[in-house]
């Protein structure tokens, strides 16, 4: 191939990547949120912080549900200053402990009269176990948010129309749930599998989508709607493994900024008329389809029943 050929191929490849992963679509809604309350989990950094800031700018009361008071206080300070909205506050939530989830909900319900938007944004990758011994990614990304949402449902129903947005990922395509492992390993991905970390993360994101799907079925007739989201490929703590000048250039070319990565979440929170699509998956501020597994209603129902048992509801 000639030099020109290589250049053309490289440009073509980038255009493909750009349109597949990097389209900078924006939430177009102009809705204001005065008098509304939102919870954003994992909002001290990354996409969650950008989401919390955008909601605060629109006038919402925003609860930063985070595990570290120090990191969250810094974010509260930044968001108040940038939005001019003082109704931004921290409440302790560690999703790797079901007791912490229960404590958070108790504090929240006691001190806050409303809940209009629940944004299940926090996410981890990595090895480890939750307080109750579950695989870290399954436990934090799925089970913690599962229990949190269930315990907050009555309040969301009282404040309907209200919405629940859960951050999934395009990585859910690699997900595979093996329920038979649960009794032995308290996880749904086998320990020995190659690239375990990737499968674990993918599977937890598949769980986020199946959860949203079954939740929508159970919420029919309540005016509470729920959506799952792929935020795009976003430069955050989760994806920040490179450093240096080349890395800076590459990350400009191949990653979105957190503020851009928050747009699809904002679309699902703010856009009018999405109720008929409750339970569905969004990407680039638009309805998307997701893998066949993520649309398997029997699997979604099974996961729900198993999760109820695991969190003790």
Ligand X SMILES: *[C@@H]1O[C@H](CO)[C@@H](O)[C@H](O)[C@H]1NC(C)=O
The catalytic site residues sit at 201
Please pick, from the candidates 202, 236, 283, 284, the single residue that binds ligand NAP as defined by CB under 6 A. 236
Q: Is 264 in the site for ligand NAP (CB under 6 A)?
A: no
The DSSP secondary structure of the chain, one letter per residue, reads: --HHHHHHHHHHHHHHHIIIII-----------TT-EEEEET-SSHHHHHHHHHHHHTT-EEEEEES-HHHHHHHHHHHHHHH----EEEEE--TT-HHHHHHHHHHHHHH-S---EEEE-----SS-B-TTS-BHHIIIIIIIHHHHHHHHHHHHHHT-SEEEEEE--GGGGG----GGGHHHHSSSS-TTSTTHHHHHHHHHHHHHHHHHHHHHHHTTTTTEEEEEEE--SB-STTT----SHHHHHHHHHH-B-HHHHTHHHHHHHH-TT-GGGTT-EEETTEEE---TGGG-HHHHHHHHHHHHHHHT-
Output the smallest distance, CB 146 to ligand X, in A.
Answer: 23
Q: Tell whether residue 71 is a contact of ligand NAP (CB under 6 A).
A: yes
Indicate which of ligand NAP, ligand X, none lies near residue 39 (CB less than 5 to 8 Å, by partner kind). Answer: none
Interface with ligand NAP, residue 167, by CB under 6 A: yes
Question: Between residues 111 and 158, which has the closer beta carbon with respect to ligand X?
Answer: 158
Number of residues that bind ligand NAP (CB under 6 A): 30
The entry of ligand X, ligand NAP, none near residue 176 (CB within 5 to 8 angstroms by kind) is none
Interface with ligand NAP includes 44 (CB under 6 A)?
yes
Instruction: Return the half-sphere exposure (C-beta side, CA atoms, 13 A cut-off) of residue 176.
Output: 11
Q: Of 74 and 159, which CB lies nearer to ligand NAP in the complex structure?
A: 74
248-256 long-range contacts (CB < 8 A, ≥24 apart) are 253/14, 254/17, 254/21, 254/22, 255/22, 256/22, 256/24, 256/231, 256/232
- Among residues 31, 32, 52, the alpha carbon closest in space to that of 43 is found at 52
Q: How far is the CB of 208 from ligand NAP (least distance, A)?
A: 8
Interaction residues for ligand NAP, span 114-143 (CB under 6 A): 121-124, 140
Cβ atoms of 30 and 266 closer than 8 Å: no
Residue 278 binds which one of ligand NAP, ligand X, none, with CB within 5 to 8 A depending on kind? none
Select the binding partner of residue 306 from ligand X, ligand NAP, none (C-beta < 5 to 8 A, by kind).
none
Q: Is 63 in the site for ligand NAP (CB under 6 A)?
A: no
Contact status: 311 vs ligand NAP (CB under 6 A): no
The item of ligand NAP, ligand X, none sharing an interface with residue 222, based on CB under 5 to 8 Å by kind, is ligand X
233 token code pair? 């490929």
197 scored as a contact of ligand NAP (CB under 6 A) = no
- Shortest distance (Å) from residue 232 CB to ligand NAP: 7
- Closer residue to ligand X in complex, CB, 25/222: 222
In whole angstroms, the minimum distance from the beta carbon of 167 to ligand X comes to 26
Q: Which does 160 bind (CB under 5 to 8 A by kind): ligand X, ligand NAP, none?
A: ligand X
Residues that bind ligand X (CB under 6 A): 160, 221-223
> For ligand NAP, which residue of 88, 93, 148, 206 counts as binding (CB under 6 A)?
93
Report the interface residues with ligand NAP, using CB under 6 A.
Answer: 41-42, 44-48, 66-68, 71, 93-96, 121-124, 140, 167, 169, 230-231, 233-234, 236-239
């Amino acid at each position: 191939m000639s030099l020109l050929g290589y250049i053309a191929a490289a440009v073509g490849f980038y255009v493909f990547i750009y349109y597949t992963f990097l389209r900078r679509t924006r939430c177009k809604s102009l809705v204001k949120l005065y008098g509304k309350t939102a919870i954003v989990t994992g909002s001290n950094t990354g996409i969650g912080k950008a989401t919390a800031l955008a909601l605060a700018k629109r006038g919402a009361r925003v609860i930063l549900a985070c595990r570290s008071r120090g990191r969250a206080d810094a974010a509260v300070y930044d968001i108040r200053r940038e939005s001019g909205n003082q109704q931004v506050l921290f409440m302790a939530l560690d999703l790797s402990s079901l007791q912490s989830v229960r404590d958070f909900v108790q504090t929240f319900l006691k001190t806050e009269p409303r809940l209009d938007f629940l944004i299940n944004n926090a996410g981890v990758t990595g090895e480890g176990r939750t307080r109750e011994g579950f695989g870290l990614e399954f436990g934090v990304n799925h089970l913690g948010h599962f229990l949190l949402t269930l315990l907050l449902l009555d309040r969301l129903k009282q404040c309907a129309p209200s919405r629940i947005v859960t951050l999934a990922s395009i990585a859910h395509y690699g997900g595979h749930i093996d329920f038979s492992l649960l009794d032995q390993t308290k996880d749904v991905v086998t320990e020995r599998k190659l690239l375990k970390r990737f499968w674990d993360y993918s599977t937890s994101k598949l769980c986020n989508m199946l959860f949203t799907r079954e939740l929508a079925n159970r919420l029919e007739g309540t005016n509470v709607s729920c959506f799952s989201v792929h935020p795009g490929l976003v430069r955050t703590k989760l994806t920040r493994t490179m450093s240096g000048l080349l890395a800076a250039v590459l990350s400009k070319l191949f990653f979105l900024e957190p503020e851009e990565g928050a747009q699809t979440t904002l679309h699902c929170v703010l856009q009018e008329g999405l109720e008929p699509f409750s339970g569905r998956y969004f990407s680039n501020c638009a309805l998307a389809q997701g893998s066949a597994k993520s649309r398997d209603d029997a699997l979604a129902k099974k996961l729900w029943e198993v999760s109820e048992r695991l969190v003790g509801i």
